Amino acid sequence: MAEKEKNITYSEDNIRSLDWKEHIRLRPGMYIGKTGDGSAHDDGIYILLKEVIDNSIDEFVMGNGKEIWVDIQDKQVTVRDFGRGIPLGKLIDCVAKPNTGAKYDSESFKKSVGLNGIGTKAVNALSTFFRAQSIRDGQTKMAEFSRGEIIKDEPIKPSNEKNGTIITFIPDDDIFHNYHFRNSYIEKMLWNYAYLNTGLTIRFNGQEIRSENGLLDLLNANLSGEINYPIIHLKGDDIEIAMTHGHQYGEEYYSFVNGQYTPQGGTHQAAFREAVVKTIREFYKKDFDPSDVRSSIIAAVSIKVIEPVFESQTKTKLGSQYMAPDGITIRTFISDFVKRELDNYLHKHPDTSQALLEKIIASEKERKELAGIKKIARERAKKAAIHNRKLRDCRVHFNSNHPERLNTTLFITEGDSASGSITKARNVNTQAVFSLKGKPLNTFGLSKKIVYENEEFNLLQHALNIEDGIENLRYNNIVIATDADVDGMHIRLLLITFFLQFFPDVVKAGHLYILQTPLFRVRNKKETVYCYDESEKQQAINKLGKSVEITRFKGLGEISPDEFRQFISEDIRLEPVLISKDSTIDQLLTFYMGKNTQERQDFIINNLKVELDLVPEYS
C-alpha cells in the first residue's frame, strides 16, 4: 500500500481552481446545509426560498413595500416584492457575482438578515432555471440563468409596473433528488416572517398571511393545550418577548434575530433563559431551581442586532456576543430588559404572578418526587449502554459542529431482523439504530415517572439525550422504522404518543419522521423497480411489461441489507410527523389514544382498508 502511494503524482496539474458556481454546486452543504427532497423543514429547497425572501424582508424593514407575493406551482418558485428594486446596472452582479451586494454597507442595511452576499447566488447556481427582474422608477431589466450560467441578458426597458424585484427559480433535481415542496413547511416559514414584521402582508398562492400582534399571535398559534396564565407580551427597542407556562413537559422556545428564525437558539436564547430565572427568583425572593422555573415554559424572543454573526450560512444559531460591534453584550441587553419589564408586569398583574408561583411549586414537587427514580434510571442506562446492543451509534452527532451534523439520523426499529438489516446497510458516520423489544407501552395519560421506570423509554431518552430538553439532541432526524402492517402502524402510534406526551418539542421542532420503505419489488430479467404504493406498482408493470415478478414485502426484515442501503441513503423517503395548525397535542392524543369512540373506529377502519388491499402478488 505504501509503495502504491509513492507513485501518486502531485504537480501543477493536480491544482484546480473552481469558479463560484462550480464550488457551490460541488459543495452545496457549505451554503444551504443539507440538500434533501423537501420532506424535512430544513432541507435545501426551503433554504433557497428563504434566501430570496430574506432580501424582500430586508426591503420591508427599511420601509420599502408592504407586500410580498410568493407563488409556487409544481417546482417553480416566484417571489415578488415591492421594494426599491435592485439597481438595474448591478442586477446581474447581485445575483451572479459573489461578495456583491448592498448589505456590506451597514448604513443601508443596519439590521439585515442576509449579510455575506452569497444567498441569491447559491439559489442561482443550484437552479436549472433562474430569472431575476428589477423594476425601478419606470424602467426594468431582466436576466435569466441556468445552473449559474447566464442564458439571456435583456436590455433595460420602460415599465409601468410598481417598483420591486421578482425572482423566479426551479431547484435543480440533479442536486435535490425527487424533491417536492410541502405547503405546511412554507406556510410556517411565512407566518414566522409575518409575526416578526407586523404590518407586512404576504400572499402565498393567493392565501393572505398577516399578523397584527407579533409574538403574541405566534404563541397563540403554537399552544399545545391550556396555559396557566395569559400570555405575557413585552416590547421594547430592538426586542420583543412573549411567554407563558403550559402543562406540557420540557421547554419550548421560538427565537429570532433580525426576523430570522433560529431553531438552534444561540446567545440570545441562552440569555433569555438565564434572565427569566434570575428575574423570577428576585421577584419571589426564593432561590428556585432553574429547571422548576422553566419547566413547561413556552416563549418567543426576538432581537435586532447590527451585523449579527451566525454559526453557519443557514443562520440557524446566533453566535454574536454583542448587540453591535461596539455595543453592550446581548446577555446584558436581554437581562436588563427582562428584569425591568417582566418584574413590572408581575407586580401589575397579581393573578398572573400567583398562577406562575403555583406552577413553579408544582414543578418543584414533581422534580423532587422523580429525583430518586431518575438517579436509578441513569445508572441503569449507563450499564445497559455497556452490556447490550440496543443502540448501534454513529460517529457524528447533531450536538457537534461537524459539517454532517444535519444528516445525523436515529432509526427506531422493532425486532432483530429489521434492526439487523438497517444496521448492516446504514452509513456508520451519520446513521444510528435503536432496537425496540416488542411493542412499547401506551403512555397516554401517564406521568413522566413512567419514562424512567420503563426500560425501553429510559434507554431511548438516554440515547437521544433529551431528558433536559432538546438543546443537546444527538440526532437531527429521529425516524420510526416499522413494518407497513397493522402491528407496525400500532407501534408507530405508540411511539408518536410517547414523544407528544413527554417530548413535544421534538415533534414541534421537526425532528420526528416515519420511514417510507417500498411495498413492492417489480422486476424482469433486465431491470428492478421498487414501488411504494399501488400506483407506482402499476406504473412499473406498464414499464417493464407483463412478464414480471412482483414481490410484496411483508416486513422490513424481508428486505436485504443491499436493498435497504438504497432506501436509507440519498433516495431515502421520510414522512414528517406534523401537528396541524388546527389541532393541539391534547386533542390529538385524546382522539387517537383516548376512549374508543365511534369517530376513531371509523377513522381506523377507513385507513386500514388501504393496508388490507395490499396482498402478495406474483405473475
Residue 551 pairs in a beta bridge with 521
Check whether 15 has a pLDDT greater than 70.
no
pLDDT at 8: 59
Distance between CA atoms of residues 472 and 615, nearest Å: 43
pLDDT at 10: 57
The per-residue pLDDT of the chain, averaged, comes to 86
pLDDT at 611: 34
Which pLDDT tens digit goes with each residue over 538-549?
999 999 987 899
Q: Which of 78-87, 520-529, 558-567 has the lowest mean pLDDT?
A: 558-567
* Cβ neighbours for 602, distance < 8 A, ≥ 6 positions apart: none
Check whether 609 has a pLDDT greater than 50.
no
Helix/strand/coil for 584: coil
Cα 85–chain centre separation = 31
- 555: which 3 cell numbers? 416486513
Which pLDDT tens digit goes with each residue over 465-516?
998 888 889 999 999 998 877 788 888 889 999 999 999 889 988 899 999 8
Confidence grade of residue 312 (pLDDT, cut at 50, 70, 90): low
Range 163-196 burial, b when 16+ CB lie within 10 A, else e:
bbbbbbbebbeebbeebebbeebbbbbbbbbbbb
Distance between start and end Cα atoms, the chain: 51
pLDDT at 606: 58
pLDDT at 618: 29
Which pLDDT tens digit goes with each residue over 352-393?
999 999 999 999 999 998 888 888 887 877 776 655 678 999
The strands making up 260-261's β-sheet, listed across from edge to edge, are 232-236, 239-245, 297-303, 252-257, 260-261
pLDDT at 116: 47
Average of per-residue pLDDT across 281-287: 97
Parallel, antiparallel or unpaired: strands 297-303 and 252-257: parallel
The C-alpha angle with vertex 508 and arms to 39 and 258, in degrees rounded to 5, equals 90
Question: Quick one: CA dihedral 423, 428, 431, 436, positive or negative?
Answer: positive
- 327: which 3 cell numbers? 455595543
pLDDT at 556: 82
Longest dimension (CA), the chain: 80
Residue with C-alpha cell 433535481?
Answer: 173
List of E strands, 401-548: 409-414, 431-436, 477-481, 512-516, 520-523, 528-531
Distance between CA atoms of residues 482 and 436, nearest Å: 10
Of 119 and 336, which is predicted with more confidence?
336
Check whether 608 has a pLDDT greater than 50.
no
DSSP run (H or E) holding 134: strand 127-136
Check whether 196 has a pLDDT greater than 80.
yes
Region class of 586: left (phi > 0), else alpha (psi between -120 and 50), else beta: alpha
Region class of 148: left (phi > 0), else alpha (psi between -120 and 50), else beta: left
Average of per-residue pLDDT across 92-117: 62
Alpha helices in 62-182 (DSSP H): 91-96, 119-125
- 184: which 3 cell numbers? 405546511
Which pLDDT tens digit goes with each residue over 17-76?
667 788 888 888 888 888 888 988 889 999 999 999 989 998 998 889 999 999 999 899
- Helix, strand, coil proportions of the chain in percent (round to 5)? 40, 20, 40
Contact 152, 95 (CB under 8 A): no
Which pLDDT tens digit goes with each residue over 109-125?
566 655 445 789 999 99
pLDDT at 321: 93
Alpha helices in 145-214 (DSSP H): 183-196
Q: Which of 206-215, 404-413, 479-488, 580-589 has the lowest mean pLDDT?
A: 580-589
64 closest CA partner among 142, 140, 165 = 165
DSSP string, 208-250: EE--SSTHHHHHHHH--S-BSSPPEEEEETTEEEEEEEBSSSS
Check whether 82 has a pLDDT greater than 50.
yes
Distance between CA atoms of residues 132 and 88, nearest Å: 11
Distance between CA atoms of residues 412 and 560, nearest Å: 18
Average of per-residue pLDDT across 178-194: 93
Distance between CA atoms of residues 407 and 395, nearest Å: 12
Cα 502–chain centre separation = 19
Average of per-residue pLDDT across 548-557: 86
Distance between CA atoms of residues 366 and 81, nearest Å: 51
Domains and CATH numbers, the chain: 21-209 (3.30.565.10), 215-364 (3.30.230.10), 388-517+553-612 (3.40.50.670)
Check whether 562 has a pLDDT greater than 80.
yes
Distance between CA atoms of residues 322 and 268, nearest Å: 10
Parallel, antiparallel or unpaired: strands 409-414 and 164-171: unpaired
Check whether 605 has a pLDDT greater than 60.
no
pLDDT at 326: 81
Q: Which amino acid is at 457?
A: F
Confidence grade of residue 304 (pLDDT, cut at 50, 70, 90): very high
Q: Which of 113-127, 193-207, 325-339 has the lowest mean pLDDT?
A: 113-127
Residue with C-alpha cell 431518575?
Answer: 374
pLDDT at 259: 84
Check whether 6 has a pLDDT greater than 60.
no
pLDDT at 4: 47
Average of per-residue pLDDT across 233-253: 94
pLDDT at 566: 85
Average of per-residue pLDDT across 572-584: 80
Contact 150, 296 (CB under 8 A): no
Check whether 554 has a pLDDT greater than 80.
no
Check whether 349 has a pLDDT greater than 90.
yes
Distance between CA atoms of residues 18 and 444, nearest Å: 56
Torsion angle defined by CA atoms of residues 573, 575, 576 and 579, in that order, rounded to the nearest 10 degrees? 170
pLDDT at 570: 79
The percentage of residues in the chain with a pLDDT greater than 90, rounded to a whole number, is 52
423 closest CA partner among 378, 392, 445 = 392
pLDDT at 569: 86
Which pLDDT tens digit goes with each residue over 438-478?
889 999 888 888 888 888 899 999 999 998 888 889 999 99
DSSP run (H or E) holding 170: strand 164-171
Cα 566–chain centre separation = 24
Distance between CA atoms of residues 185 and 268, nearest Å: 24
- Decide: residue 386, CB within 10 A, 0-12 exposed, 13-18 middle, 19+ buried: exposed
